[in-house]
Amino acid sequence: MLSALAVDPEQGLDGEEAARRRASVGPNALKAAGGVDPAAIFLGQFRDFMVLVLLAATFISGLLGEFVDAVAILTILLLNAFLGFVQEYRAERALEALGKMAAPKAEVVRDGRRALVPAEDVVPGDVVVLKAGDRVPADVRLLWTEGLLVDEAPLTGESVPVEKRAPAVLPAPRPLGDRTNMAFMGTLILKGRATGVAVATGMATEMGKIADLIALTEETDTPLKRRIRHLGRVLVWIAVALTAAVTGLGVLDGYPFEEMFLLGVTLAVAAIPEGLPTIVTVVLALGVSRMQKKKALVRRLPAVETLGSTTFIGTDKTGTLTLNRMTLVQGRTAGGAFFVSGSGYRPEGGFFLDPERTAPFDPEERPEVMALLTYGVLASEARLLPPETGDRTEGPKRPAGRFRWLGLRRKAREAAPSGWRIDGDPTEGAIVVAARKAGLDEEALRRRKRAKVLPFDSVRRRMSIVYEVGGGRGVLAAKGAFEAILDRSAAIFDGGAVRRLGDAERRRWAEEAEAMAAAGLRVLAVAYREGPLERLRGLEDEAELVFVGLVGLIDPPRPDVPAAIRTVQAAHIRVAMITGDHRETARAIAADLGILRPTGRVLTGEDLRRLDGKALSRLAVETDVFARVAPEDKLRIVQALRAAGHIVAMTGDGTNDAPALKAADIGIAMGQSGTEVAKEAADVVLLDDHFATIEAAVEEGRTIYENVRKFVRYLLASNVAEIMVMLVAFALKWPVPLTPLMILWINLVTDGLPALALGLDPMERDVMNRPPISPSESLFARGLGWKILSRGALITGVTLWAFSERLAAGAPLGEAQTVAFATLIVAQLVHVFDARNERSLFDRSPLDNVPLVLSVLVSFALVVLVIAWPPAARIFGAVPLSAEDWLRVIGYSAAPFVLLGLFGRLSSGRPARPEA
């Protein structure tokens, strides 16, 4: 089969061959991804009913001889459509890119190296590496397996996990569920590891054969967008009713019906905020790409909004709050305590009898210390890599056994500053480094044949490896959480001899371990067992171990975490640490980081299991640390917090975390240490696994929501003003203040760019000093509705004032209309700056949103253009304005906002936002 697919299992395909096969068989996907269709988006701009009516009206007036008007209206409509098109196209492209970023990855061997590639790029013949938590990317013929257990429910509907074994040649054909030497696309690796060769990809897989039945729709609608669309529908009717009123009043005033009809329809087109949903999409999509720059990958768009509403963050400890760069600093054996110097993964340091590290000793003279380190190394798979060599995608440099490079469980997340790196789990790395300091070499120790692995998982909290030692005998080396190992130890290794471990002594060891944990150390116990190989091989669980001792590891906190935690707490968000580590270790680190408050509670997984749902809800809200929790406890914590009314963000990395991530309002997966399954279940993926990134994402979420409110305010106040100016003028039996073309131009100039720039407003300084946004809050809450009406009325007022003042001064109607036109636009352009602030125009410098300033300048230039450029002016019915008129326009437009701004500044003491 390998030769049929022309692949060497050690080398994998080479890059060129893979690219060639990709080109000939196509992407490894179940459905050809439909790209963005620009033409459809452009035509979509004319979907709007009122725009169609206007087109018809324009066409008729064109037939009636109003050519210039008709052409001008058409031009403006086209410009408008173009603007809408650019925005929508950009949004769609951004969403498409988002989909690509969030696409699943697969690990393959190419050119002799392991590489992470998009699952879409897997081709037949690729050597695929599978481990617990992966989703199988293609139909894979297994070459090598270790304890592989697969959940095939996605394919067969059969929920009982299937054991797979390789190599096995089976008489074909068999039912899928019985083909134990194959792993099928879309199924889930629950346990173990494997490699295999992809034999079918894309629609040729078993999954592909049934994929026609599966509709793959991605949710890109968000609650906010739905609300905005609903709002839009309501506003359409209001706008239609008001414009009908304008037309009616105009006709009653004696204007000809055709003229009034065109005016009314124009007004309706201008006043309907048809751009709202698109701008929301653009703002969300651009917010998403901004978050991505900050290392938070948003997989589902609604998460952006929910982030802004988050009230509780439950975070993992290791790697998220800490560096996950472990160093073994002390140990305890039957012979007493010892301490180790050195930092990071550099294998340099000495052994000491005292914590101050003044009394050195030679570990080789202490058999219990050597045993502790030796069995610790034997129970581990991590390797130490010297500086500059062995990039993590490279295979080992030294001659190693077949498939040796599979020995990875967790990748080192950070290279130590010294340049020494760990290939594998950092906890194990710390033990390996300490062993090197004692002169032990992990490669040499592990040269014996491995007979069995009892793998680590966060429920068992221990792992063991069985080695053959010859003569039909074997040795099992075990390490794990100290309770897990102590409970399974029957004897203790004491200076070369083995004696029984009594209950009293066991308790004393537990106390020692707790004391180490209380100092913030991660504590592991090491043990072993010797016996006939077959006996050891048959073990399903560790038992009758010989206890050797304890090791204590430090894992320094990430330096910027305490500040991030303070910021989050100031933002009225509760933070709790949720960890598999020991209660005392968790407590010490949480106190250090500022998570554990003096009155805060610490609960363990055991406590949780004793509490019913209600009691848990009550206690969970005041708990700062959840320790020794298993993944299913995490799910209960999420449910309890949500039942208590919290909007919960929860982090996770393992397959077992997926239910908790799904149940949380915001599931957050780790990008580096996380499994594919956890990422699939998550709304957000932290590309750097870092807590501070959650803080940044919440900040963005809040900013985006506020920005949506800002441009809703701006756009609606503008529309209110446009309609009110006409309505009031007709009600007062004044002449028509604006021509249809002017109205369309106002719409074009003010609705497009400035609104978008407002949607991208940078974060306000105090976003993280406010309470979270309540998800049930109306878009118009916190005074926004009032602001829209009052600012709309102000703009109406100054426009009508400017208009009537010119008329009263005896100016011709054309001049008064021009002044009204200019005033209405300029007032809106001033209002856009007012809309950026809750309180006062002067709270923020306009220069921190340069695009907004530029878009306002462009808009202003467009007004000047149609007034001062005679051919345009003629079409628009405008007349050139004197310098004095321009001053008047600017003065009238700006005055009320400046006054309001000053007043807002003076009336300090009022909080920027009332407490929720």
Catalytic residue check, 316:
yes
394/457 with CB nearer ligand ATP: 457
55-61 own/partner pairs: CB under 8 Å, 24+ apart:
57/261, 57/262, 57/265, 58/262, 61/258, 61/262
Judged on CB neighbours under 10 Å (0-12, 13-18, 19+), 909 is exposed
Phi then psi dihedrals of residue 620, to 5 deg: -60, -35
Shortest distance in whole angstroms from residue 130 CB to ligand ATP: 20
Return the residue of 274, 414, 581, 633 that touches ligand ATP, per CB under 6 A.
581
Contact indicator for 665, 306 with CB cutoff of 8 Å:
yes
479/636 with CB nearer ligand ATP: 479
Q: Tell me which stretch binds ligand ATP (CB under 6 A): 459-467, 497-505, 702-710, 728-736.
A: 459-467
Q: Tell me which stretch binds ligand ATP (CB under 6 A): 123-131, 132-140, 311-319, 751-759.
A: 311-319
- CB under 8 Å to 338, separation ≥6 — which residues? 330, 331, 332, 351, 352, 353, 361, 363, 366, 369
Paired strand residues for 648: 312
253/514 with CB nearer ligand ATP: 514
Q: Locate 418 and state its tokens.
A: 């010294």
Phi then psi dihedrals of residue 220, to 5 deg: -115, 0
- CB under 8 Å to 410, separation ≥6 — which residues? 424, 425, 426, 673
Return the residue of 21, 225, 317, 710 that touches ligand ATP, per CB under 6 A.
317
Q: Tell me which stretch binds ligand ATP (CB under 6 A): 256-264, 453-461, 619-627, 883-891.
A: 453-461
Shortest distance in whole angstroms from residue 663 CB to ligand ATP: 17
3-state helix, strand, coil in the chain (%, to 5): 50, 20, 35
Using rule CB under 6 A, residue 220 touches ligand ATP: no
Q: Locate 877 and state its tokens.
A: 């019915």
Using rule CB under 6 A, residue 579 touches ligand ATP: yes
141/317 with CB nearer ligand ATP: 317
Shortest distance in whole angstroms from residue 583 CB to ligand ATP: 10
Q: Tell me which stretch binds ligand ATP (CB under 6 A): 169-177, 574-582, 744-752, 778-786.
A: 574-582
- CA separation (Å) from 753 to 82, 784, 852, 859? 12, 22, 8, 8
The label of the residue with tokens 């651009």 reads 286
**Interacting residues with ligand ATP between 123 and 142 (CB under 6 A):** none
Q: Locate 589 and state its tokens.
A: 């680190």
Using rule CB under 6 A, residue 479 touches ligand ATP: yes
Using rule CB under 6 A, residue 323 touches ligand ATP: no
Count of residues that bind ligand ATP according to CB under 6 A: 20
**Interacting residues with ligand ATP between 516 and 535 (CB under 6 A):** 522, 524
Q: Strand pairing of 327-333 and 336-340? A: antiparallel
Shortest distance in whole angstroms from residue 686 CB to ligand ATP: 13
117/524 with CB nearer ligand ATP: 524
Return the residue of 12, 331, 349, 480 that touches ligand ATP, per CB under 6 A.
480
Shortest distance in whole angstroms from residue 553 CB to ligand ATP: 9
Shortest distance in whole angstroms from residue 461 CB to ligand ATP: 4
Return the residue of 428, 442, 688, 751 that touches ligand ATP, per CB under 6 A.
428
User: Rounded to an integer, what distance in angstroms lies between the CA atom of residue 555 and that of residue 354?
Assistant: 21
Using rule CB under 6 A, residue 318 touches ligand ATP: yes
Q: Locate 442 and state its tokens.
A: 């992990």
Using rule CB under 6 A, residue 582 touches ligand ATP: yes
Shortest distance in whole angstroms from residue 352 CB to ligand ATP: 24
Shortest distance in whole angstroms from residue 432 CB to ligand ATP: 11
Residue (of 770, 785, 816, 790) closest to 903 by Cα position: 790
User: Rounded to an integer, what distance in angstroms lies between the CA atom of residue 620 and that of residue 602?
Assistant: 9
Using rule CB under 6 A, residue 461 touches ligand ATP: yes
Contact indicator for 486, 525 with CB cutoff of 8 Å:
yes
User: Radius of gyration over alpha carbons of the chain, in Å?
Assistant: 35
Q: Tell me which stretch binds ligand ATP (CB under 6 A): 222-230, 577-585, 660-668, 825-833.
A: 577-585
**Interacting residues with ligand ATP between 371 and 410 (CB under 6 A):** none
Residue (of 606, 644, 486, 638) closest to 550 by Cα position: 486
Return the residue of 405, 456, 803, 892 that touches ligand ATP, per CB under 6 A.
456
- CA separation (Å) from 166 to 5, 131, 134, 143, 345? 18, 15, 18, 5, 36
Q: What is the 3-state secondary structure (H, E, C) of 385-444?
A: ECCCCCCCCCCCCCCCCCCHHHCCCCCCCCCCCCCCEEECCHHHHHHHHHHHHCCCCHHH
Q: Which residue is nearest to ligand ATP (CB)?
A: 580
Amino acid identity for residue 694 in this structure: I
Return the residue of 243, 427, 707, 799 that touches ligand ATP, per CB under 6 A.
427
Q: Tell me which stretch binds ligand ATP (CB under 6 A): 123-131, 316-324, 541-549, 762-770.
A: 316-324
249/586 with CB nearer ligand ATP: 586
Shortest distance in whole angstroms from residue 274 CB to ligand ATP: 48
Q: Locate 858 and state its tokens.
A: 């462009």
Q: Tell me which stretch binds ligand ATP (CB under 6 A): 201-209, 579-587, 637-645, 835-843.
A: 579-587
Residue (of 361, 368, 363) closest to 336 by Cα position: 368
Shortest distance in whole angstroms from residue 703 CB to ligand ATP: 29
Using rule CB under 6 A, residue 580 touches ligand ATP: yes
Amino acid identity for residue 715 in this structure: L
182/523 with CB nearer ligand ATP: 523
Using rule CB under 6 A, residue 573 touches ligand ATP: no
Return the residue of 462, 709, 806, 831 that touches ligand ATP, per CB under 6 A.
462
Shortest distance in whole angstroms from residue 487 CB to ligand ATP: 13
SS3 at position 323? coil
Shortest distance in whole angstroms from residue 413 CB to ligand ATP: 11
Q: Locate 74 and state its tokens.
A: 């058409």
Return the residue of 107, 206, 305, 425 that touches ligand ATP, per CB under 6 A.
425
200/589 with CB nearer ligand ATP: 589
Using rule CB under 6 A, residue 791 touches ligand ATP: no
Return the residue of 13, 198, 481, 692 that touches ligand ATP, per CB under 6 A.
481
Which of 316, 581, 607, 653 is labelled catalytic? 316
- Give the chain's length: 916
β strands within 119-267, DSSP E: 127-131, 139-151, 162-164, 182-183, 188-200
Using rule CB under 6 A, residue 300 touches ligand ATP: no
Q: Strand pairing of 383-385 and 360-361? A: unpaired
Residues noted as catalytic:
316
Q: List residues near ligand ATP by CB under 6 A.
A: 316-318, 425, 427-428, 456, 458, 461-463, 479-481, 522, 524, 579-582
